[in-house]
Amino acid sequence: MAQSKPGGLIDNVKTIVYAALIALGIRTFAYEPFNIPSGSMIPTLLVGDYLFVSKFSYGYSHFSFPLSPPLFSGRIFGRLPERGDVVVFKLPRDTSTDYIKRIIGLPGDRIQMRAGHLYINDTEVPREPDGTYTVTDDGPSMVYKRYIETLPGGVRHEILKASDDGPLDNTQEYLVPPGYVFAMGDNRDNSLDSRVLNAVGFIPLENLVGRAQFLFFSIDAEAPWWEIWEWPFEIRWSRLFTSIH
């Protein structure tokens, strides 16, 4: 018995170390969890959504690793995102901050908002009215117009618009530089994104963390945390294990 205890302890420590290494490997090279704290991507993503991001979709940069150690520059096995991908990236002006938006512009594209309508390379992106949408989980309740937008290449996705004459509804033309992409939130009038050059601006490909793949949990946490009997009713069961488009 005296000899088995030390061996058992060592085996347990080895198991914990191996499990930690496996988890670190999965987080670094396969999938990393993120949660949604704001409403800039409503209705695609809601406050309280938890999702997995695929780290391998665009290759790996030093931002793929925990704490983002500056081990190298550029991307290994790099691949350009597709227009319409929902991506997590490091904010260019503060790389400790993660943002999630939709890729609208690729290198060489010209992007502009005119009277609330999106133009890519001087061509208006079509949008179809799709009723209204009431936002209740990002501050005061508000009713927005909902549209189905079809990006070049065929990706269709929902967007919300409060109006077509907001601060970011008439912009300059943005020319996306080589090695960068342009991203916007689906909640168009409530999104700090690439349209604001001094806050987000163009996103270096190196700053991409990965592609948002699917939701694994979602909760509308309105009740106080100590009311545990309310927890099952706050889970958005219909959103669990759904893919992100």
Catalytic residue numbers read 40, 101
CA–CA gap between residue 22 and residue 28 (Å, rounded): 10
**Would you state the structure tokens that stand for residue 37, as one six-digit string?**
């704290």
Q: Is 227 helix (H, G, I), strand (E, B) or coil?
A: coil
- The single-letter code of the amino acid at 92 is P
Question: Please, which contacts does 62-65 make with residues 24 or more away whose CB atoms are closer than 8 Å?
Answer: 62/206, 63/90, 63/95, 63/206, 63/207, 63/208, 63/209, 64/28, 64/29, 64/209, 64/210, 65/28
Q: What does the CA dihedral 85, 51, 227, 136 come to, rounded to 10 degrees?
A: 0
Residue 180 has, within 13 A of its CA and on its CB side, a CA count of: 19
Between β-strands 94-105 and 203-204, what pairing exists: parallel, antiparallel or unpaired?
unpaired
User: Among candidates 219, 181, 182, which has minimal Cα distance to 51?
Assistant: 219
Going by C-beta distance under 8 Å and a sequence separation of 6 or more, which residues neighbour residue 80? 58, 106, 107, 205
- Phi, psi (degrees; rounded to nearest 5) at 26: -65, -45
Length of the chain: 245
